[in-house]
Structure formats: C-alpha cells, structure tokens
Structure 1
C-alpha cells in the first residue's frame, strides 16, 4: 500500500495541520486513517498499546457519523478503552471481567468528538477500570514506554500516551481521575491537560456529583492541538447537575497571545511527600526558564492539611470504584467479584467501599471543601503552581507494588504507597482546578519528565497560554527535539 506521506512528513504534522490538508482537499480522511493504521501496525508490536483498530472506519471514515465539516475533520483519533462509549464497539475497561462488553449507544462526549470531525478509529489500553498506575496485566496487555520498552508508560491513559509519543496519531483520548492524563503524558513526552470541572461531560453514565473528580480529555504533541480539542468537544449534555461554562474567546485564538507577567509558585513538598533531588533540580530549571520569559517565580504552597486531603481522596476512590464494581456485579446477578476475573486490589477496594456510610462520605466532602477553599485563596495571590509531575521516576515493567495485580493485603497501605509516587496530581481533581503536564524535563535515565502547572478553576486558558508561550520559546521542540526509540520514523 502506498501511503499519502513519508513518515517524516507525518511526524511533522499535528492534528490541526492534518485537518487543514483534509479541508483543502489535498488529502482525504481515508488516506489519513490508512497512514495512522500503518503507524499503529508498525509500532504496536513493541508497545502493546492498541487493542483494536476499527478497519471499517479506516476504509470509510464517514460510516459512524464523522462530521466532514468539523474543525478537526478527518483527524485519526484513538479512544481509551474506558469512559465514553461508542455504539456497537467493544469497551472492556482493561478487565477480563468486561471481555465482550459492547455498548449500544454513543455517549454525549463521543457525539461531540464526531461533530468535531475526529475519526474514532480504534481503542487504546488502560489498567483495569482505570484504577492503577500502569496497563500491565499479562492476561490483558503489558503496555511499554516507547522511549525505552523496559519501562512502563504509567497510566491510566497508557496506550494513548504510547501511540501519541510514537507518532502513530497526533491526538488521542485520555481520562483523568487523579493524574491519568498528566502522568503518562509526563513519562512519554506528551502534552496532557486535565481540564477544570464543568468543561467535558461524563453524561449519561455518571452525574457530576458521583463522578466529579474524574474528567475527560486528550494527549497531544502541540499546544494548539489540545486547544482545538477543548474548543471543539467541551460542553454539557442536557440535564447536567452543574453549569458548564465556555471562555470569552476560543482557546485556539487565546494561545496566539502571550500571557502577562505571571506570579508562579514552585513547590514539591506536599504534605508528607517529597520529590527526588534530581526532580527538584528539574523543577528549579523550569522555574528559571519561566523567569527568563519575564515571570515572577518563588517557592510557595497553599496552607491546608494535605494529609487530610489525601486521606479524603482515598475515601473518594474506594467508595466510587466500589460502587462502579457493584453496578457491574449487579448487571450479571453476582454478589461478589470473581477472583479469576477481577484483579486483587480492585476486589479489596470493593470490600472496603461497598458498605461505606454517608457519614464517611460527608466527612470526605468536608475535607474536599476545606482543601478547595484553601487552594482558591492561594490563587488570589498566585496565578500558577508549578510542580514535578510525580515524586518518583518511571517504574520498570514488572514493578507490581503500584498495580492492581499487587498482593498487598492492605488497601489503605496500597493507596498510601501510590500517593508517595503520584503526590502532585490528585488534588487538582479534588479541587476541580485545571492542570497541565508539559514535556520540559528529563529523568536521570533519559526518559522524558513532565513539569505540571496548575491554576485556579476555569483558568484552563491561562495554562494553555503559558504552554504556548513556552512552546514558542523552545522553537516547538519539546523533549529537546528528541524522539522515542520506538517511533514511526525509525
């Protein structure tokens, strides 16, 4: 098969550039889909990141309702195997228990993506129910980092991170309930925005109350692609529990202007958690870079009980995931999770959370409220908090302590161990504030490392403006212009 572009050309085009080629008639959506499918076929054997390519929409991109007039018309796009459903397509959520699950309807956000013109042409790996740090159960998948396949991508948006980094697609779906967009973006050299609460709908399967720490989004390699995705896919479904908002101007326009001089706080000491010395040095280097762009930078942190916040976040996850599992069991008439089909930590989460009282949830909500108010007060004096994306480096494949296949008998201890690693991402979910991981740093072993910027609620546009300013200052060369070892151009 003759491809429409050389791989060097393909890798140099972001989603917006590909959409422009379709808009002008230079290339067709089918040609782009065929090239993406070839890129997946080339890189996936080493990465185990894509579960399925939908051959019918590769051949005929319009067959599932892609809008050919959409702003991203014809752009190949992969769906994480979790969250928004696609009518008639499998969604197995990284779980043996969900094998063969085939939803009968598109969700609201799926419809928004189709209206935007995205060609939803396959599904990417995720850990079971999106709970843990890596898509790594040999019975389902073992997703590997394209920079060095001895290492994990982390998760839970694992396959998406690998495929965007490897150059197979420019843009891919991701979800984030505690860092699952940002952490794999940070470890794979991508851009990952966790939007504010009230941007992306999770209708109809969850309400904004039951699912309010979790958000949808994407990973990309350029700031304008992320801005275009948010502009095109945001908005609430009929009957949302809370207001959905839109900015005064599209982010695609806003990012063309530099932000004013920003007050940027650096921090890596979050409650009981500290980053490694190398990561602190990389954070300081990023701070100096931002000072060079004219911003005011110094060390500062919101004044609140972070230990209580992490405990409340643990309560939230245990109670939420337990009820998700309960719903799955009820649909099959089961009273408890089958040990051969659901991973050990997820069974322990179910046991710990299935009978959790409203009293415990109410106490949790009180801590959420106190923490969110403290961060809100902090953002009266500061525009941005800058942190490392994690406190510890990327684990090697086979490190089980962070996985839901772990044999840790104590679910609270398992979560506590997780927070030592993923210290800096969960609280933005708790507070509903936006956060973005930018591929500005490097680990000691040469793998990429993300620097995270967080802002006050609904200041997503400011994060994207800052990201675009950094991108311009770097001459568009994130990751120092390096490419992963597994890449379509190799």
Structure 2
C-alpha cells in the first residue's frame, strides 16, 4: 500500500496543516485516514492504545456525516471509548460489563466534531468507566507509554495520549474528570487543555454543576490544534441547564499575539501533597524560563482548605459514579454489579456511594463554592498558577495501587493513593477553571513531565496565549525536540 507521505512528513505536520493540504487538493481525507490507520498498524502492537478502527469511514470519510468542508477538512480523529457516543458504534468504556454496548445516537458534541470536519475513525483505550489512572487490566488491555513501554500512559485518556505521542494522529479526543486529559498529556509529552465550565456540552447527559466536574477536550502536539478544536466544537445544546459562553475572539486569532506581562505563581505543594525534589526543581527551572520571557514569577498558592476540597471531590466521584453504575444495573435488571465483569474497586465505590444522602451532597457543594471562591480571590492577585502535573514520577505498568483492579478494601485509602500522585489536577475540575498541561519538563526516569498552568474561569484563551508564546520561544520543539522510542517514524 502506497501512503501519501513519508512518516517524517506526516509526523511534522499538525492537524491544521494537514487540513490545509486537503483544502489545496494536495491530499484527500481518505488518504489521511489510510495513513492514520497504517500508523496504528505500525505501533499499536507495542502500545495497545486503539480498541477498534472503523474501516468504513477510513474508506469513505464522509459516510458518517463528517463535514469535509469544515475547518478540519476530514482530518482522522480517534475517540476515547468514553463520553460522547457515535451512532451505531460500540462504546465499551474499558469494561467487560459493557462489551457489545452500541450507541443509538450521536451525542451533541459528536455532532459538533463531525461538523468541524473531524473524521471519527476509531476508539481508544480507557480504564474501566474512566475511573482510575491507567488503562491497565490484563483481562481487557494494558496500554503502554511510547517513551518507555515499561511505564503506564496514566489515564484515563490513555489510548488517545499514546496515539498522539506516537505520531499516529496529530489530535485525538480526551475527557477530564480530575486530570484525565492533563495527566496523560503530561506523562506522554502532549498538550492537554481542560477547558472552563460552560465550553463543551455533554448533552443529552447530566448538565448540573456536579455532573460537569468532567470535561470534554482533546490531546494534541501543537497549541493551534487545541485552539482550533475549541473554536470549532464549543457551545451548548438547546436548553442547557447552565450558561455557556463564547470568547471575545477565536482562539486561533488570539494565540498569534503574545500575552502581556503576566503574574505567575509557582507551587509544588497542594495541601498535604508535595512533589518530589526533582519535580519541584523542574518547576523552578520552567519558572526561570518564563521570567526570561518577561513575566513576573513568584511563589504562592490559593488560601483554601485543601483537605476539605479533596474530601468533597472524593464524595463527588463516589456518589456520581455510584449513580452511573446504578443506571447501568437498572438497564439490565440487575441488583448489584457482577464481580466477574466489573473491577473490584469500582464495585466498592458503588457500595460506598449508592446511599449518599442529600445532606452529604449539599455539604460537598458548599465546599465546592468556598474552594472556587478561594481560587477566585487568588486570581485577583495572580494571572496564572503553575504546578507540576504529577507529584511523583510515572508509575510502572503493574503498579496496582492506582488501579481499579486493586485489592485495597478501603475506597477512601484508594483515593488517598491517587491524590498523593495526582494532587495538582482535580481541584480545577471542582472549580470549573481552565488548566493546561505543557510538555516542558522530565521526571526522574527521563520521561516527559507536564507543567500545568491554571487560570481563572473563562481565561482559557490566556493559557493558550501563554502556551503559544512558549511554543514560539522553543521554535516549536516541545519535549526538547525529542520523539518517543515507539513512534511512526521509528523503524
């Protein structure tokens, strides 16, 4: 099979560039889809990041309604196997319990993606129901980090992160309920933006504020691909329960200009959780780099009750997730989760959360309010706060304490293990503020380490502006210009 371009040429271009080549008539959407499918065939036996490819839309990109005249012009795009559904396609959510689950309709955001010209060519791996930090159950699949396959991609947007990092596609779908876009972006060397509340719709699913701790988005390798995705796919469905907002100008225009001098705070400690000395030193190094770009850099953090915030976040996960399981059980006429089909920690979460009282939820939401206002007060004084994406180095494959196949009898202790490593990401979900992972550092093992920038609500554009300024200063060379060992360009 002859491909339209060499792998070096393919990997050097982002989604915006490939779409422009389609518009110029240099390449067709079907040729792009064929090249992406060949990329999966080249690397996925070592990474296990793709669940299924859709051969029909690889052959005919317009078949499922992709608008080939849209801004992405038929660009091949992989969908995390969780969140937005695709009519007639399987969505199995990383679970044996959901095997054979086929969607009856597109969700609202799926329609926005198709209208943007994205050709949804397949499904990528996720841990069961997106709950834990690694797509790693040997009974389902084990997704590996393309930089070093002894290590995990983290999660829950595991397969999408691996495929973007390995050069298979320039951009892929991801979701983020506590860091699930940013953490895998951070440990795989990608760009990952968790947008503010009120950007991407999850219609027809739950749209109250606690349902919206989980945010849709993408993984990419360039700032402009993420900006173009947000510009094209944002907006609420008719009758949304909460307001949706639009930026004063398209982010694709905004990122062409540098931001003004920013007040940037650094923090490598988040309540009880502290980054390793190596990771803290990497944060300091990035802070000095930003000073060199003309920004004011200091040390500060929001004055909030971190223990209360993490406890509220944990209550939110446990109670939300128990209801998700309840709905699945009701659809099948079951009383409790089958132990041979649902992973043990997820069953324990269901047991812990199914009888959550209104009082407990009201207390949780009160903490959401005080935490969000604490961050808001902080952002009156500072424009951005910079933290590492993780407090600890990337776990090796088989580190079960982070997995829902863990035998930990205590749900709260299990979540405590998660927070020890992934402390810096979830509070932005609680507050509905934007947060961006940028591939600017490395951990103790030489693997990528994302540096996270957070800003006040609806300041998503400022984060992208800063990232674009950094990208220009680096000459486009994120990750010091290095590529992972498992990559489409490697022999």
Q: Shorter-normalised TM-score: what interval?
A: over 0.9
**8 Å Cα contact 1:402-1:414 kept in structure 2:** yes
1:13 aligns with 2:13: yes
Give deviations 1:84-137, integer Å, cap 9, x for gaps.
000000000000000000011000000000000000000000000000000000
Aligned to 1:132: 132
Aligned to 1:189: 189
Aligned to 2:321: 321
Aligned to 1:271: 271
Alpha-carbon distance between aligned partners in 2 of 1:399 and 1:452, rounded to the nearest angstrom: 24
Alpha-carbon distance between aligned partners in 1 of 2:238 and 2:91, rounded to the nearest angstrom: 24
Give deviations 1:161-219, integer Å, cap 9, x for gaps.
00000000000000000000000000000000000000000110222335110100000
**8 Å Cα contact 1:391-1:422 kept in structure 2:** yes
Matches within 5 A, 1:288-437: 288-437=288-437
**8 Å Cα contact 1:78-1:123 kept in structure 2:** yes
> Partner of 2:380: helix, strand, or coil?
coil
Alpha-carbon distance between aligned partners in 1 of 2:179 and 2:132, rounded to the nearest angstrom: 10
Alpha-carbon distance between aligned partners in 2 of 1:117 and 1:255, rounded to the nearest angstrom: 22
Alpha-carbon distance between aligned partners in 1 of 2:287 and 2:205, rounded to the nearest angstrom: 41
Aligned to 2:248: 248
Alpha-carbon distance between aligned partners in 2 of 1:68 and 1:120, rounded to the nearest angstrom: 12
Give deviations 1:219-259, integer Å, cap 9, x for gaps.
00000000000000000001111111110100000000000
Give deviations 1:369-406, integer Å, cap 9, x for gaps.
00000000100110000000010010000000000000
Aligned to 2:77: 77
- Runs of at least 5 residues in structure 1 that lack an aligned partner in the other structure: none
> Partner of 2:273: helix, strand, or coil?
coil
Give deviations 1:425-445, integer Å, cap 9, x for gaps.
000000000000000001121
Q: What do you get for the CA RMSD once the two structures are aligned?
A: 0.5
Aligned to 1:30: 30
**8 Å Cα contact 1:267-1:299 kept in structure 2:** yes
Aligned to 1:465: 465
1:228 aligns with 2:252: no
Alpha-carbon distance between aligned partners in 2 of 1:228 and 1:64, rounded to the nearest angstrom: 21
**8 Å Cα contact 2:4-2:35 kept in structure 1:** yes
Aligned to 1:108: 108
Alpha-carbon distance between aligned partners in 2 of 1:79 and 1:27, rounded to the nearest angstrom: 23
- 1:153 shift after superposition: 0.1
**8 Å Cα contact 1:208-1:240 kept in structure 2:** no
**8 Å Cα contact 1:202-1:208 kept in structure 2:** no
Give deviations 1:12-66, integer Å, cap 9, x for gaps.
1100000001111111000000000000110100000000000000000000001
- Runs of at least 5 residues in structure 2 that lack an aligned partner in the other structure: none
Aligned to 1:4: 4
- 1:365 shift after superposition: 0.4
Aligned to 1:450: 450
Aligned to 1:201: 201
1:117 aligns with 2:117: yes
> Partner of 2:67: helix, strand, or coil?
coil
After TM superposition, which residue ranges in structure 1, 4 or more long, deviate above 3 angstroms? none
Alpha-carbon distance between aligned partners in 2 of 1:177 and 1:345, rounded to the nearest angstrom: 17
- 1:322 shift after superposition: 0.3
Give deviations 1:348-383, integer Å, cap 9, x for gaps.
000000010000000000000000000001001100
**8 Å Cα contact 2:207-2:242 kept in structure 1:** no
Instruction: Provide TM-score, normalisation by structure 1.
Output: 1.00
**8 Å Cα contact 1:435-1:452 kept in structure 2:** yes
> Partner of 1:385: helix, strand, or coil?
strand
Aligned to 2:487: 487
Alpha-carbon distance between aligned partners in 2 of 1:210 and 1:283, rounded to the nearest angstrom: 31
> Partner of 1:337: helix, strand, or coil?
coil
> Partner of 1:156: helix, strand, or coil?
coil
Aligned to 2:144: 144
Aligned to 1:261: 261
1:282 aligns with 2:285: no
> Partner of 1:46: helix, strand, or coil?
helix
> Partner of 1:351: helix, strand, or coil?
helix
1:91 aligns with 2:91: yes
Alpha-carbon distance between aligned partners in 2 of 1:456 and 1:429, rounded to the nearest angstrom: 12
